Amino acid sequence: MKNINTDEQYFYPFEANEPMAIATEALNVYYHDEYHAINDTSLQFKQNQITALIGASGSGKSTYLRSLNRMNDEVAKVTGTIDYHGVDINQPDIDVYEVRRRIGMVFQQPNPFAKSIYDNITFALKRRGITKKAALDEIVETSLKQAAVWDQLKDKLHQSALALSGGQQQRLCIARALAVKPEILLMDEPTSALDPVSTAQLEQTMKQLREQYTIIIVTHNMQQAARVSDYTVFFNAGQVVEYNKTNKIFTRPKIQLTDDYLSGNFG
């Protein structure tokens, strides 16, 4: 890691033997070849932890998140390395489809397909050649259980996913992402379209998922970051200002700018 802590930037010093799920080194993202959305960002994400990315609108946190599983390929230029178990997955010869299977994503708006609940979950599996009904049934059940909606949905697996409530749809999207057995789950403001009750339930689910998955979540909601995450990264204007343990960053931020943001003095 090349990060040097200064008055303007602080990075949590991970020990060398702590297991990392994914890390970026000098990541830069440009839109339309000119707008520099992410500037030289080097971050590590610890395995089986929830890391929250916070920051004002336009600070680049979503852009950064979407770069991790190459979802920005079509819309932006991403330079630098993304280290995934020793492999730089930001190379042109990398199979992006395999990357995205291993690094799943849940979006801001629940976006189930206009298919049945069952078909939503088995969609990616069938594309990967899993067609045995018994195997599919089992994966549908385990993923819905992991997303904590099995009890609500088990009797209507063959009904349209669009008929579900927003919270159920978002859980279905999580189950759909889990069905391909990823290692990392990227969540881009997953609760911003949900009501407070569904939000609280989803946060509970995230904490359970942490035991098996590494979660990186972008959130606008600082309380949410404080509630669910183990580590928090504060982005400002395409740069990381502070990366620290969540309890530290919210009680005693190292950088003045972080303090200002968290106490509502700007943004």
Q: What residue ranges bind other proteins (CB under 8 A)?
A: 69, 71, 97-101, 104-105, 107, 109, 111-114, 123-124, 127-128, 162, 173, 176-177, 180
Least distance from other proteins to the Cβ atom of residue 110, Å:
9
**How long, in residues, is the chain?**
267
Least distance from other proteins to the Cβ atom of residue 57, Å:
19
Which one, 19 or 97, has the nearer CB to other proteins? 97
| Alpha-helical segments (H) within the chain | 61-68, 96-102, 117-127, 133-146, 150-153, 166-179, 196-209, 222-228, 246-251, 256-262
Which one, 35 or 97, has the nearer CB to other proteins? 97
**How far is residue 259 CA from its own chain's centroid?**
24
Which one, 109 or 256, has the nearer CB to other proteins? 109
Residue 189, Ramachandran bin (φ over 0: left; ψ between -120 and 50: alpha; else beta): left
Least distance from other proteins to the Cβ atom of residue 3, Å:
29
Which one, 110 or 253, has the nearer CB to other proteins? 110
Which one, 188 or 242, has the nearer CB to other proteins? 188
What would the two tokens of residue 52 be? 């929250």
Q: What does DSSP say about strands 76-84 and 231-236: parallel, antiparallel, or unpaired?
A: unpaired
What is the DSSP-derived secondary structure letter of residue 191?
T
Which one, 101 or 227, has the nearer CB to other proteins? 101
| Alpha-helical segments (H) within 5-89 | 61-68
Distance CA 27, CA 40 (A): 5
Least distance from other proteins to the Cβ atom of residue 131, Å:
14
Least distance from other proteins to the Cβ atom of residue 174, Å:
12
Q: How many helices (H) and strands (E) does the chain have?
A: 10, 11
CA-closest candidate to residue 194, choices 226, 233, 220: 220
Least distance from other proteins to the Cβ atom of residue 126, Å:
8
